[in-house]
Chain A
Amino acid sequence: MKRTLILAVPFLFAAPAVQADAALAALVDKAIAASFPAGEGQDLSRLVQDDTLKTCSQMRNNPTEKQAAAILEREAKNMKHPEGGKLLGDWKKGEKLFAAGFGMRIGAIEPDKADKQKGGNGGNCYACHAADPKEVAAGTVGPSLTGYGKLRGGGDDIVKYTYEKIYNAQAFTACSNMPRIGHNGILKPEQIADVTAYLISPESPVNK
């Protein structure tokens, strides 16, 4: 993972050194094409990678400087703000979205129920991040966000960074393990503004 905006983090695990291997990538594509049968409830368009994920997969999340720069440039263009440009929304709505894990599960075996789907997707942030100190069931795949606003303040630059980071983590960190929440349509821009407020607002339990 290459960090450009913030300090570099050392690689924490012994992933093998990699070089892009076109023959192997072709084998992967062939195996995938043969492993997900079409049918009711199957959306095979989800198997298609964009250029960013292609690079990250082949380089095992360890892109060269040049590849990382290309990803940052591309993903910065994949950025959208809410209509009206308000990046700080309602932290109480954000609190619900941060915790909700619902949505986007497909297939014939155990797809999300349509009636629940109407409520939209959750952000599923607790899968990977701590936030409200009272929530113990917080994952550790991402860094803790407890005290986020208290530590960084709520200046315009922090608000903009936070919103944009959630919308598209790879605009800041090439091959970040964090899903591109906005770019991939998991949450809508207005919802990301709500989550941003949840992280930044002094009233939010995140900062108590």
Chain B
Amino acid sequence: MRCMIPGLAICLSLAAPAALAEASVAEYRAALADKDANPGSLIIEKGEMLFKTKRGAKAETLEKCDFGLGAGKLKGAAAQMPRYFKDTDRVQDVESRLVSCMVRLQGFDEAEIKKKLYADQRFNEDNTPLEAMAAYVYAQSDGMALNPPKKHPKEKEAVKLGEALFWHRYGPMDFSCATCHAEDGKRVRLQALVNHYNKKDIQATVSTWPTYRVSHGAMRNMQHRMWDCHWQMRLPDIDYGSPAAVAIIAFQADQARGVKFDLPGMKR
């Protein structure tokens, strides 16, 4: 694992991520109350640079990407997502919207993008452009209250569908999300589990993603968390920005509605 804050003694104690207790994460966060010292801030800066760089077959930037408030309007956009987009006829979160814009505005190939979605923490990789740019777009809603629209029938449907998926048990472990995330104060091994039906709990979670994951030495977004938990459920890889992943995220956002983003987050 990399430690990006030289001179911070506490970094040393983070070298054993598997055994990391909640208490030391709290200490770590306290030590980093200054957000500029969160390694995620560097990744957000990298994301901004990439966002404004001419890339792809069309050599375009993403500055005209519409995240729901109009082309190029980023301030507060993530706080009002997932939402329905007419041009794709889908409910989309920031992560899936970015892919649509990379394809439509920049001429990237979707299958090509999906070949490398995430930095592989086993090889100490740097965050992918997609991860860095998602972190940048979310950061433009820092401090703003989460309030995704729930007017369009597909927006209402996504929340309902997301909740049903949350209870859907499948895979060889008979797991659903609810197995681990529907009661207060539960743990898997030493890891505390968020209860999606506890407003304070789910608000603390949703408001701090994208998050710098200390054990990964990388910035992670909610699509990655969806992949990670489905992987733990011993299911196949859930597709980035897929209807199921976005619906669960829409359900989470609905449960957490009203909370102010506190970005970038910092977790185990």
Contact = CB atoms under 8 A, between A and B. Distances in A.
A110 B227 CA distance: 10
Contacts of A42: 236-237
Contact of A105 (B189, B231, B238): B231
A30 B173 CA distance: 22
Contacts of B238: 35-36
Interface in A159-208: 177-180, 184-186
Given A57-B168, A139-B186, A24 B160 contact: yes
B231 A107 contact: yes
B197 A15 contact: yes
Contacts of A25: 164
A177 B175 CA distance: 7
A139 B168 contact: no
A116 interface: no
Bin chain B's interface residue count: 35 or more
Interface string B209-235: 000000000000000000100011011
A6 to B, nearest CB: 19
A61 B178 contact: yes
A27 B161 contact: yes
Contact of B172 (A37, A128, A185): A185
B188 A141 contact: yes
A177 B167 CA distance: 11
A151 interface: no
A44 B170 CA distance: 11
Contacts, number: 144
Contacts of A110: 120, 122, 231
Contacts of A13: 182-184, 195, 197
Contact of A180 (B174, B182, B239): B174
Contacts of B232: 105
B145 interface: no
B187 interface: yes
B203 to A, nearest CB: 16
Given A60-B178, A128-B188, A180-B174, A31 B234 contact: no
B180 A141 contact: yes
B17 interface: no
B6 interface: no
A140 B183 CA distance: 11
Contacts of B244: 31-32, 34-36
A47 B175 CA distance: 11
Interface of B: 19, 117-118, 120, 122, 157, 160-161, 164-165, 167-176, 178-180, 182-190, 193, 195, 197, 227, 231-232, 234-239, 242-245, 247
Lowest 8 A-B CB distances belong to which pairs? A35-B242, A35-B244, A107-B237, A42-B236, A104-B234, A179-B173, A53-B169, A31-B243
